[in-house]
Amino acid sequence: MSEPVGVSTGIAGRYATAVFDLAKESKALAALEADVDAIDAAMAESADLKTLLSSPLYSREEQGAAIAAIAKKMKLSQTTSNVLALMASKRRLFVMPQLVATLRDRIAADKGEVTAEVTSAKGLSKAQAAKLAKTLKAQIGADVKIKATVDESLIGGLIVKVGSKMIDTSIKSKLNALQNTMKEVG
């Protein structure tokens, strides 16, 4: 059963607001950020976790027990564990990807950070990522957190997306532009 994106985002937004406000009140935003990173990594690595979150075949009790065990194993904060348990009891675990994304945005906004999605032909080294973040900070005027992905089809260069801005310096796009120019001439 798939929910419309708007409904999922709305549900995730309400849970994210509650969790964020609780963490901020108790001065535990760093713990919440660590929890969000851990959950995001677990969802990316585990197909079984994705199935648990989205499958209607698991009962509330099964989802609740599994999420409690996962939260304990991952050593998530009490606030995060309680919210996950509540979501399981209400059969709302399917919004977990949207919840993680919304929490990331709320935490970044609170810290004055902006996330830059960087796609490169090869993985960026820590030094390259740090230099790119410093350069983007000078351009944007806010701290920049790099979210890097690799796409070997770019051949070389980078595609950087920050908010609604996109900078494409990839060789692939330059070759495509050259090819289109040549088609126009001939």
pLDDT digits (tens, 9 = 90+) for 87-139: 999 999 999 999 999 999 999 989 989 999 999 999 999 999 999 999 999 99
Instruction: Please report the pLDDT score of residue 4 as a whole number.
Output: 59
Q: What's the length of the chain?
A: 186
Domain extent at residue 136: 112-185
Are the beta carbons of 53 and 43 closer than 8 angstroms?
A: yes
Same domain, 90 and 152: no
Are the beta carbons of 166 and 125 closer than 8 angstroms?
A: no
Q: Taking the CA of residue 186 as centre, how many other CA atoms within 13 Å lie in the half-sphere pointing to its CB?
A: 6
Number of domains in the chain: 2
Whole-number mean pLDDT of the chain?
A: 92
Domain end, chosen from 109, 132, 165, is at 109
Same domain, 20 and 102: yes
Instruction: Please report the pLDDT score of residue 1 as a whole number.
Output: 44
Q: Which residues contact 68 (CB under 8 A, 6 or more apart)?
A: 81, 84, 85, 88
| Residue stretches of the chain with pLDDT short of 50 | 1-2
Q: What is the CATH number of the domain that holds 33?
A: 1.10.520.20
Instruction: Please report the pLDDT score of residue 186 as a whole number.
Output: 65
Same domain, 132 and 173: yes
